[in-house]
């Protein structure tokens, strides 16, 4: 089973850059999308169906053109959970989950901390999603939380580790991500690639992507009971439909 996570920074813009052709070639069983910046009715469902994804689930922000997550599946899930029931998260369309027999997969878009107001919102979200995930694992032990976490965990995950005063690499954010992992999750990419320095996001400024001055902000976090099922985990920097690139994890069941 191949799962891909991709912050597309606007699904309509990504479609104009060949997203559907790439999706057909990559052919994941499930793709988790973040930052759709669209409502479902603004897109043609048939386009995704013809690409091999008849099951499309969207959870958009109340604010038009902002945030939003989606999951596209080749096979119909047993259940789809739209949001978390936590109002502050759900207003912004940040979580959607599909449940299968062997595994449940969530697409999550954790806020960025671009200013003081949003940083406070981000920290609140971090606290709430950690507790939510702990509770969720009591009933769903085989859980994958894919998405844009907007945090680099270790120095190996950022091109310039001196950027400790910037949101995304603040000590408090990194400590939280460590707590999230320690609560029972595996960073699948780092688990399979302990020494690889690869990134999933690059600024549009200063030719950052061409110079590979990036950040690893996107993760496929996998709960401990699935550890032995992880066969591969990797990043796909050649996909260029966004300022992010996709990240993937593959399971054998």
φ/ψ (deg, to 5) at 13: -65, -40
Q: Does 153 belong to an annotated binding site?
A: no
CA distance 44 to 247: 25
> What is the three-state SS of 187-238?
EHHHHHCCCCCCCCEECCCCCCCCCCCEECCEEEEEEHHHHHHEEEEEECCC
Tell how many helices (H) and how many strands (E) occur in the chain: 7, 14
| Cα(220)–Cα(230) distance, integer angstroms | 11
Q: Can you tell me which residue has the tokens 């000590």?
A: 171
Q: Is 7 annotated as a binding residue?
A: yes
Pairing of the two strands 95-99 and 104-109 = antiparallel
Q: Please indicate if the annotation marks 211 as binding a ligand.
A: no
- Annotated ligand binding at 250? The verdict is no
* Active site (catalytic) residues: 109, 148, 244
SS3 35: coil
- Annotated binding-site residue? 91: no
Question: According to the annotation, is 173 in a ligand binding site?
Answer: no
Binding residues: 7, 35, 148, 150, 243-244
Binding residues for Mg(2+): 7, 35, 148, 150, 243-244
């Amino acid at each position: 089973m191949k799962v891909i996570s991709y912050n597309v920074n606007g699904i309509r813009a990504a479609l104009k850059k060949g997203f559907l052709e790439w999706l057909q070639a990559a052919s994941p069983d499930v793709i988790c999308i973040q930052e759709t910046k669209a409502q479902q009715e603004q897109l043609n469902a048939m386009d995704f169906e013809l690409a091999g994804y008849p099951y499309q689930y969207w959870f958009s922000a109340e604010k038009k053109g902002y945030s939003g997550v989606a999951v596209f599946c080749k096979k119909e899930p047993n259940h789809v959970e739209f949001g978390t029931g936590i109002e502050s998260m759900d207003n912004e369309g940040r979580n959607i989950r599909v449940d299968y027999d062997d595994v449940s997969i969530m697409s999550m878009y954790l806020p960025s901390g671009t200013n003081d107001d949003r940083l406070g919102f981000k920290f609140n979200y971090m606290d709430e999603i950690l507790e939510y995930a702990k509770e969720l694992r009591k009933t769903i032990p085989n859980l994958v939380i894919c998405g844009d976490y907007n945090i680099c965990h270790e120095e190996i995950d950022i091109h310039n580790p001196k950027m400790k005063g910037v949101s995304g690499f603040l000590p408090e954010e990194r400590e939280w991500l460590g707590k999230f992992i320690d609560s029972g999750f595996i960073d699948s990419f780092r688990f399979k690639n302990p020494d690889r320095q690869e990134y999933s996001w690059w600024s549009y400024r200063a030719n950052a992507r061409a110079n590979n001055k990036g950040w690893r902000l996107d993760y496929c976090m996998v709960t401990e009971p699935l550890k032995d099922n992880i066969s591969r985990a990797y990043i796909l920097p050649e996909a260029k439909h966004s300022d992010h690139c996709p990240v993937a994890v593959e399971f054998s069941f």
